[in-house]
Amino acid sequence: MLQLTLIRAVIAVGGLFGLTSAQVTTDCDPTKVTCPNDQGLPTDTYSVDFTSIKSLPSEWQLANYANVNLGSQGAEFTFAKRYDAPTLWTKFKFFFGRVEFVVKAAPGVGIVSSMVLLSDDLDEVDWEFLGGVTTNVQTNYFGKGYTGSYNRSTSPTVASPQTQFHTYALDWSPTALVWSIDGVAVRTLNAADADGNGSQYPQSPMKVSLGLWDAGDPDAATQGWGGGVTPIPPPEPYTMFVKSVKIFNSNPAQQYQYTDKSGSWKSIKLLVTCILTCDDLEFGLHKLSVINSDISNVHGHVKCALNIGI
């Protein structure tokens, strides 16, 4: 995500800085200090259809001073005035799996629509759309907040992203990360090929973040990347629509715990609470042993507290 370092380094506009950096900050970096456990996604699937609800789900967090409306085309992220940067993210994280976004990007020179996966230690995976570019989308990744020389981005072709809905997916495992559009893979990153001899491969539990911001602000150094200067005030509101988000979680857990400061996926412990009734006890214990075995094959770490109802 080009946004983070460039804005931090060269923009002196207080309002713009505070809003546009919302997607790429962390409250506590577990590679530097001991942090509270992450709230996990305890199920292997999660989905939200923003076209069929009237209020934002409680498991999503809206950024301060932001507004996201819900309508027939889904969640609406709108740039209507300078410094608007509506951002919405999950309160939970997931740990490897697949995410699908059904999205129509916002138009407008300098306007950036984005779908981002972000971890506490600043692993990051991006889809980003420039409002003035009508033929492609950008993909990117970062590990532990390191940006390198901004040479990791690709720009796969997509038809009319500002006027058509498409399904953008990320398949994420310990060995590879695949970006796809409407079911067709457009980029594959093998973990071993990531910068830093693989150490900057995104690999820690991620939240899902949706947002829109203005790279073409008159005082922004990102104007060149964003495609030019955004007219202020804009001639019309620029809106990204998100119809739905689906998550397939490879490692369901109530919490994810960093057991050291390496940031390696192998150091993440799954904290799982299993609730069994007496009637289910025999079956439940058998199933629990299978669950533990499966998790151990992946991580070698699991904690399961049994609450047996009498």
Going from the C-alpha of 221 to that of each of 86, 176, 226, 228, 230, the distances in angstroms are 20, 33, 9, 10, 12
Which tokens is 252 given? 């369901």
The catalytic residue among 76, 124, 236, 282 is 124
DSSP assigned state of 235:
S
The catalytic residue among 76, 128, 236, 282 is 128
CA distance 112 to 103: 13
Residue 263: how many other CB atoms lie within 10 Å: 23
At 31 the three-state DSSP class reads coil
Question: Is 282 a known active-site residue?
Answer: no
Of the candidates 118, 114, 116, which has an alpha carbon nearest to the alpha carbon of residue 129?
114
Question: Is 236 a known active-site residue?
Answer: no
Contacts 24+ apart (CB under 8 A), 148-151: 148/195, 148/200, 150/2
List the catalytic residues: 124, 128
